Amino acid sequence: MTAESLFAECIIPGCKQPVTDELIPCQTCRAIFGPMLHEADRPPSYTAADLAERDAGTAAAYRMMRALPTAAQHNDLDTERERRTVEHEKAAAQERGEAEKANQTCWLCEERRTCLLRPQGWECRQCREIR
């Protein structure tokens, strides 16, 4: 139960529907989950305060993990830079007509093929061999 609310929240994780009893799911969750929910004859092993404490601890752990950079993230930065550099070099070579680019429409045969950029437009291997 929060300070602003007169009712407790539904016991199902993620549901914020108000309920009169903190250990009973709301009507919406009962309708959604139907026969998957069933009552046990034993007393509950936790209370709303226990759940709130657990959730606060989990949220704090996630915040701490998100704040710490990992070695993988640092390695990813280097590999990301390298990947982008290679992509830019490849794109520049394609624009200069030094490298082929897949799925371009040849200006001569009008087929989609791997082509080189020529002053007239994209030109496929087959048309270059014919010329």
SS3 1: coil
The pTM for the full model equals: 0.35
pLDDT in tens, 68-106: 766 656 666 677 888 888 888 888 888 887 888 889 999
**Alpha-carbon distance 82 to 86, whole Å?**
6
Q: Is 3's pLDDT higher than 60?
A: no
Supply the DSSP string of 11-25, one letter for each residue.
Answer: SSTT---EESSTTS-
- Of 28, 2, 20, whose CA–CA distance to 12 is shortest? 28
Q: Is pLDDT at 49 greater than 90 in this prediction?
A: no
Span 30-45, pLDDT tens digits: 999 988 988 777 776 7
pLDDT at 66: 82
